[in-house]
Amino acid sequence: MVNAAERRLFWGTLVAVVVSDFATKLIAESFLARRLPLQVIGDTVQFRLVYNEGAAFGLHLGDNSRWIFLGLAIIALFVLASLVRGTRPGDRFRLVALALVCGGAVGNLIDRIRSAQGVVDFVDVGIGAWRWPTFNVADSAITIGAIALGLSLWQEGRAQQRAKEARAAEP
């Protein structure tokens, strides 16, 4: 990431995720604490306030989960920062993917720091008894960003393989 436009794209995306995540969590906490659940599309999509002390999909590591996952989030942010620094100039797709993952990680990290209750989750999707784990804006950003990052890395791997094959085929 070398030019100013790419830095603005990365930081703008990251800040947008963190701000929207934080704002929606504050709204969810103030509104949904009094009204559970709030149906958006029948029982398929509803807002329900949940505090997740663990990690994704309710992964829990005992009494110290908050601190373990806080530490892991900080380590992940350092790893992601190295990926950002290593991103080729002009690879905006990868920068946005990394910004989404970083923004989501920061959003959930803020929750772990500000409250012992855990991360605020409030989007509940499913059909009847079959429910996806409740999530938030940060979780969505992490998921979308991780999928996009995976695609970016896969495309880069394919391009490197094609270049290697082309070099091998040259006389």
Identify which of 130, 128, 90 has the alpha carbon closest to the alpha carbon of residue 10. Answer: 90
- Known catalytic residues are 121, 139
What six digits make up the tokens of 131?
A: 């429910």
Residue 5: Cβ within 10 Å count = 10
Token output for 23: 């704002």
DSSP-assigned letters across all residues of 10-60:
HHHHHHHHHHHHHHHHHHHHHHHTSSS-EEEETTTEEEEEEEESSSGGG--
51 beta partners: 120
